[in-house]
Amino acid sequence: MATPVKMESPLGARMMIGGREVDYYCGTSYFCLHGHPEVIEAACAATRQYGMGPGTLAHMQVYADLQDRLRDWFGTQEVVYMISGYTSPMVLLQGLRDDFDIILMDSAIHYSTRDAIPTLGKPIHEFRHADAGDLAEQLSLHVKARQRPAVLTDGVFPSSGRLAPLADFRQAMAAYEGALLCIDDSHGVGVLGETGRGSLQHAGLEEAGNFLAGTMSKAFGALGGIVPGDAALAEKIARNAMIMRGASPAPPGLAAAAAASLRVLQTMPEKRSNLIRNIKHMRSGLRTLGFKVEDTPVPIVTVKGLTDLEQLRERLAERDIIVRVQQAGGYSDAPNVPTLRIAVFSEHSPAQIDRLLQSMAELF
Ligand SMILES: Cc1ncc(COP(=O)(O)O)c(C=O)c1O
């Protein structure tokens, strides 16, 4: 049974938990923006100016400013912003509802997309996790002539850190005219790709027919879901996705925090280069210890086997190093054996990472 964690400071590479200052390797604050002074100040200033919320419709300049900044960054005509990342796949898929006939879904897809699917009223079939061969097989079994499939997957899977093989998926879909690839890129946006636009950019797939839904709560230090796309997509979302009419957006302070997070990331390129350096350091260090770790640019690094992971986690915690053990089947994509999940942040120092690796070498 995991010890309850009591957080007493903003998320960060060093933070206060249970009265102690610890090295923190959990969660998703990949650039530690949740505690960044400019982000906090932006949230406070917007809250003072606009209060706690607009009461359903986002008719405040702070939302327009965020969307302008996101549009520039994604290089798209529009970026739709909504209350949470969890709802962003639903918003995307409801928007595209009339553009596909049948759904093919990765079997380990996140709850956010699973919960969205019943709202779409389409036939649904699963393919084996991250398996483009099985996707091809399921497409050939289930898609009838003139049907347009939508293939749904996470871009980066949140427990394992596995990257979806998007280019292979696209190849498997090549024979199906009008096929759509829709990804929940909550863990890719901000992190992957040459300028951080996520898994599609990383895979060289930022083109028509490929869509992402993302969040401002993980690489960015705020809250809210995002769907970038052209004006036609934004218009379809406004027409079909009732949450855009019938629910409040994230509070103004969070929209301002989201914009400030993106500004900080854009003006401090060293954050992204430090994250890349740290991911390489962690992954190669773990390989040296004998763990089988893939060489990807994903900041979620998992290891399994070799040792009693729960005991290792406890021993590390005694040294004020906090990592997470994901129990078998304990999350949407969790493998069927326990895994140690290590989240790498741009703000971890090389010395901190060495301390974790050295401790693991001594303890397992
Ligand atoms: C893959 C994935 N999608 C969506 C979400 C939900 O994002 P948010 O917490 O920003 O609502 C999460 C959160 O952990 C996630 O891991």
Structural domains of the chain ordered from first start: 14-25+269-363 (3.90.1150.10), 37-267 (3.40.640.10)
Say yes or no to pLDDT of 129 above 90. yes
Report pLDDT for 56: 79
Ligand 1 atom showing the smallest separation from residue 87 Cα? 11
Chain segment 239-290, per-residue pLDDT in tens: 999 999 999 999 999 999 999 999 999 999 999 999 999 999 999 999 999 9
3-state SS class at 104: strand
How open is the CA angle 218-18-9, to the nearest 5 degrees? Answer: 40
Q: Name residues whose C-beta falls within 8 Å of residue 321's C-beta, 6 or more positions apart in sequence.
A: 22, 23, 25, 355, 356, 359
For 295-320, what is the mean pLDDT?
Answer: 92
Report pLDDT for 58: 81
Measured in Å, residue 329 CA sits from the centre of ligand 1 at: 17
Say yes or no to pLDDT of 155 above 60. yes
Ligand 1 atom showing the smallest separation from residue 158 Cα? 16
Query: Is 113's C-beta closer than 6 angstroms to any atom of ligand 1?
Result: no
Q: Name residues whose C-beta falls within 8 Å of residue 267's C-beta, 6 or more positions apart in sequence.
A: none
Write the residue with the smallest CA distance to atom 3 of ligand 1: 186
Write the residue with the smallest CA distance to atom 7 of ligand 1: 85
Query: Is 313's C-beta closer than 6 angstroms to any atom of ligand 1?
Result: no
**Percentage with pLDDT > 90 across the chain:** 94
How open is the CA angle 46-49-52, to the nearest 5 degrees? Answer: 70
Chain segment 336-353, per-residue pLDDT in tens: 899 999 999 999 999 999
Report pLDDT for 1: 46
For 30-56, what is the mean pLDDT?
Answer: 96
- Predicted TM-score of the model (pTM): 0.96
Chain segment 11-29, per-residue pLDDT in tens: 999 999 999 999 999 999 9
Report pLDDT for 3: 56
Query: Is 85's C-beta closer than 6 angstroms to any atom of ligand 1?
Result: yes
Tell me how far apart the terminal alpha carbons of the chain are, to the nearest angstrom.
19
Report pLDDT for 5: 72
Contact between 338 and 327 (Cβ < 8 Å): yes
Ligand 1 atom showing the smallest separation from residue 215 Cα? 10
